[in-house]
Structure 1
Amino acid sequence: MPDMSASVSLAVTHLVPLAKEVDENKVTPGVLGFIVFAVMALAVWGLMKSMNKHMGKVKFEDPADSEEKPSAEASGKTSSS
């Protein structure tokens, strides 16, 4: 099995001159940063859309309504909706 550390060090020595050409005072996120941001934005949009759909299915009842129903059932009255 060949020694991988020699090939890795050779590849790194070829990349070192490229790193010296980069302006250290100017750092930009580049294409990868944009792709990550776009994926995160799409994920948040999808989660918000799903949450709105699920919240639409929830039925909220007032506490006053829930207190009246057991007392009506206890007295034998049925309420038709």
Structure 2
Amino acid sequence: MQKIKRLFTIKTKFEAFLVIYALALGAAERGIVYMDQYPGFGGKLLALCCTGAVFMAGGKVIDAVDMQRRWQF
């Protein structure tokens, strides 16, 4: 079980950046879909929310990696 758990644990900043990149690709695609489905200001606002969520999540992921490294013995 530990080996499987290790596969889903972000241990380095490089892995964190890969996860953030994947989140950004998905958010950009979702934003395009929102702008297509909701033309005008509403679609642009939803697309902006998608990208903003990536910035917030990315910051938390990087902070978590730093905190994990700091508290690890």
Give the TM-score, by structure 1 length. Answer: 0.36
Greater Rg by CA: 1
Q: Which has the higher contact order (CA 8 A, sep 6+)?
A: 2
Alignment TM-score, normalising by the size of structure 2: 0.40
